[in-house]
Amino acid sequence: MTSGRITWAGTVGVVMLAMLASGAMAAPRKKGDKKPAPAPEAKAAEKPAPAPAPPPPEHKPAEVKPAVDDPAVPPPAEKRRMVGILDVRVDGVPDEIKAQFERGLEEQLDTKIYWLSSRAQMRERMKFSTKWTEGCLVGGCLAELRTQTSAELVLLAAFNGSGTSFGHVVTIVRTDNGRVLSQESGRCEVCTVNEAMAEATLSTMRLLNAVPDVLPDEAGDHSVAMDLVATQSKQQLAELHRGERRRGIALTLIGLAVAGGGIAAYVLQDKPDYALAIAGVGGGLLVGGVVVLTF
Q: Which pLDDT score is estimated for 42?
A: 46
Instruction: Answer for the pair 205, 164: CB distance below 8 angstroms, yes or no.
Output: no
- Grouping H, G, I as helix, E, B as strand and the rest as coil, residue 228 is helix
Most confident of 95-99, 154-158, 191-195, 257-261: 154-158
CA distances 133 to 6, 7, 83, 126, 244, Å, are 146, 143, 19, 9, 60
N-terminal to C-terminal alpha carbon distance within the chain: 184
153 burial via Cβ count (<10 Å: 0-12, 13-18, 19+): buried
Percentage with pLDDT > 90 across the chain:
27
Confidence at residue 74, expressed as pLDDT on a 0 to 100 scale: 52
User: Where is pLDDT greater, at 44 or 260?
Assistant: 260
113-138 residue pLDDT tens: 888 999 999 989 888 888 888 888 99
> Could you tell me which CATH class the domain 81-209 is placed in?
alpha beta
DSSP element (H, E) containing 117? strand 114-117
pLDDT at 26: 46
- For the ranges 11-15, 66-70, 270-274, 275-279, which has the lowest average pLDDT? 66-70
The pTM assigned to this predicted structure is 0.51
- What pLDDT was estimated at residue 83? 93
Res 45 pLDDT > 50: no
The residue count for the chain = 295
pLDDT given for residue 7 in this prediction: 54
Q: What is the pLDDT of residues 246-270, one digit of tens each?
A: 777 887 788 778 777 777 777 777 6
Q: What is the pLDDT of residues 62-78, one digit of tens each?
A: 554 444 445 455 555 45
Examine the pLDDT at 152 and tell me if it is beyond 60: yes
At residue 71, the pLDDT reads 45
